[in-house]
Structure 1
Amino acid sequence: MPALYILIPVALVLVAFAIWLFLWAVDSGQYDDLDGPAHSILFDDDDPMHKAGVDQAQKQDEPKDPPHA
């Protein structure tokens, strides 16, 4: 029975800490976009609408220097 006098406050402190940690994560934006990173692997890099594809397409559009003889 005396152990309950210690375990109940410890459990309440742990629950309060877990609630604070969850609210901190929500406020800091940890749960803003859950689907974006999971779906980004499905995009092809050659797609001009994809950000990685835009950089690659811009490099291909640059004029190339003629070979020097």
Structure 2
Amino acid sequence: MEALYLTIPMAMCIAAFFLYVFITAFRKGQFEDIESPKYRMFFEEEYPTESKQTKTNSPDGPTSKS
């Protein structure tokens, strides 16, 4: 019985923390669009290329990565 005096308030604090985290995520728009992320893998994306300035400033010149 004495353990309940400790575990119930701890459970309430943990529940309040997760409720706070959920509300802040909801307000920031985390859950606005739940459909489009699963379709992103079907679209081709161009990866960013290195700028010419970083390639010319390297002392070894452009290197090839395998």
Normalising by structure 1, what TM-score? Answer: 0.56
Residue 42 of structure 1: how far off its partner (Å): 1.7
Residue 15 of structure 1: how far off its partner (Å): 0.9
Give the whole-Å Cα distance in 2 for the aligned partners of 1:24 and 1:41. Answer: 28
Q: How many residues align?
A: 46
How large is the Cα RMSD of the aligned pairs? Answer: 1.7
In structure 1, the partner of 2:34 is 34
In structure 1, the partner of 2:4 is 4
In structure 2, the partner of 1:56 is none
Gaps of 5+ in 1: 46-51, 54-69
Residue 34 of structure 1: how far off its partner (Å): 1.4
Give the whole-Å Cα distance in 1 for the aligned partners of 2:37 and 2:5. Answer: 46
4+ residue runs over 3 A deviation: none
Q: Which has the higher contact order (CA 8 A, sep 6+)?
A: 1
Aligned-residue identity in percent: 35
Gaps of 5+ in 2: 47-66
Q: 1:41 is paired with a residue of what secondary structure?
A: helix
Q: What is the one-letter code of the residue matched to 1:36?
A: S
